[in-house]
Amino acid sequence: MNRHEFECDTPECRFWDEENGCTKQTSVTIQEHCCCDFEEKPHDKIFIVVSGGAVQCVFTTLEADVRAELIDLDNAAADGDNPDALTNARESIEFIEAHHRQIL
């Protein structure tokens, strides 16, 4: 019987390190080059809050590689298709304020 060596080669996993490979300290089961304990790396974002046509504040995580998401309170208030849009936008902002650093 041939012995097969398998290792995880999934840089999208939060356990992956460019220098050391998989950093998970326990044994893993590999399926299609990805361990069963795969956890996606968190994606960093910038959140921009707009009201009255002007940027009110900007939040971000501390990481350098970021994507931006615009939260427009005016559009949310005017959204006739979704009466909860403004409430949802405000709840999103509250969550963002609690978990991100404001940069503007």
Q: Of all residues in the chain, what percent carry a pLDDT higher than 90? A: 8
Strand partners, 102: 59
* Span 41-63, pLDDT tens digits: 666 677 888 888 888 888 776 55
Instruction: Compute the mean pLDDT over every residue in the chain, rounded to the nearest whole number.
Output: 76
Instruction: Look up residue 6 and give its amino acid.
Output: F
Give the pTM: 0.42
Name residues of the chain where pLDDT drops below 50.
1-3
